[in-house]
A and B are shown apart, each in its own frame.
Chain A
Amino acid sequence: MMSEKLKGNLDMLLLAVLAAGPGHGYAIITRLRDRSEGAFDLPEGTVYPALHRLETAGLLDSAWEVVAGRRRRLYRLTAAGQESLAAEAQRWRSFTGSVSQVLRGLATQPSAIRPAAL
């Protein structure tokens, strides 16, 4: 269920992870898992098509660099990527704020979610 929800927001999450600094695929997935405290434990291979897609869209750029003795593709956020991330984050906050407003009543009245027949 979490993976399904994650799919639609993976691009934004990858941009957010890279906003903290450049990283290669494995480091990005590790950061994503750590920052979500293990909640976003998606199949690791899914990040690569997403990273390639974001690079094609001009939101990331990448280059080969040797990190810890191994040649890796390092991804960096571009200026367009920073703008896109800011816009996406704003939309996400607005969306989650609205959802929270709707759910607020339920949180304080647990009985409200019980089916009427019970």
Chain B
Amino acid sequence: MSDMRDLPAGSEPVEEYLDRLLLTLSGPPRQVRRTLAEVEAHLHDAVAEEIAAGKSEAEAEQAAVARLGTISQITGRPLQFGRPTAALLRRTALAGSLIGGIALVAVGVSGAIGWGLAALRGGTFLVAPFPQGSYTRSDCARWLAGDPSTHSCLTAMTADHVGEVILNSFAAGLLGVLALSAYGWMRRRWQDRGTLTALPIGSAEAVGSILALIVAVGTAGRGINLELVQNGQGAGEMFSLTIGALAAATFFIVRLSRLSLPYRIRS
């Protein structure tokens, strides 16, 4: 049963086997620790038996690992390559709900900022009005009906669009809160090591911060362009999104730095 190949210098078959087993096991943490401890004790017994039979320590370790069989024989299920494991799907759902939730909350925050910017610099700073001739009398009548305090179609249209942008932003923010609640629920439910290590630690935060910074740069550039070319009409929406994206990027970067803190302390 044993496979007596020449061992590379410095190799530790038992330690390497236990490392691979730890990375493969999934389930509740206590079950993972139990299986690992059982297999480690088993391997030490087998190594002792092989040494007693006359093998060198390196040969004994290799024989003990060969006797134990493949990792999948211990986990009780075959390793499946080429399609995502349940742990990977769970981890992706966690990452997606965190990134999506924060992104939507950032849109909600940008809505509040846009509201403030519209109050400071006027509604047309937040939303550019439609060009003349692109709307009908009935459109005007509808906008004016929604804002009885004015007789100007342009003012009523702007107020309508500002309200729409802010309402949509707040709705997105609410959805973001729901997504983050779902994230929190899933995070409590899926605490097994297999799920948590299915993607590199901090990958969601890294992807989230990169995406948020791209959005921040893109919307800032668009806002500056609107400020310069269209006298700022509609620039406020872009700038409010920039601030929301920067807040999201800051959140992800702070989380990322906290995740990597223990490694920095050790080094």
A residues near B (Cβ < 8 Å) are: 24-26, 41, 43-46, 48-50, 52-53, 70-73
Contacts and interface: CB of A to CB of B under 8 A. Distances in A.
A50 B35 CA distance: 12
A41 B1 contact: yes
Interface centre among A26, A41, A49 (most CB of B within 10 A): A26
Contacts of B69: 43-46
Given A24-B38, A43-B70, 7 more contacts: A25-B38, A25-B42, A26-B41, A26-B42, A45-B71, A46-B74, A52-B35
B46 to A, nearest CB: 7
A70 B41 contact: yes
Nearest to B68: A45
Q: What's the interface size class on B, roughly?
A: 20 to 34
A41 B44 CA distance: 19
5 contacts: A26-B46, A43-B1, A44-B69, A45-B71, A48-B74
A17 to B, nearest CB: 15
Contacts of B1: 41, 43
Contacts of B44: 70
A111 B71 CA distance: 46
A42 to B, nearest CB: 8
A26 B73 contact: no
A48 B34 CA distance: 10
Contact of B46 (A41, A44, A49): A44
Contacts of B67: 43-44
Closest CB pairs A-B (n = 9): A43-B69, A49-B76, A45-B74, A45-B69, A26-B45, A45-B73, A45-B68, A26-B42, A46-B73
A48 B41 contact: no
Nearest to A51: B38
Contacts of A41: 1
Contact of B76 (A43, A44, A53, A72): A53
B117 interface: no
A43 B41 contact: no
B39 A45 contact: yes
Contacts of A72: 38, 41
Interface centre among A41, A48, A70, A72 (most CB of B within 10 A): A48
A48 B70 contact: no
B225 interface: no
Nearest to A42: B69
B207 interface: no
Interface in B69-94: 69-71, 73-76
Interface in B86-141: none
Nearest to A62: B34
Contacts of A70: 41, 44-45
Contact of B42 (A44, A52, A71): A44
Interface in B228-251: none
A63 to B, nearest CB: 11
Contact of B75 (A49, A50, A53, A73): A49
Contacts of A26: 41-42, 45-46
Contacts of B210: none
A71 B37 contact: yes
Contacts of B41: 24-26, 70-73
A24 to B, nearest CB: 7
Contacts of B31: 52
Contacts of B39: 45, 48
Contacts of A24: 38, 41
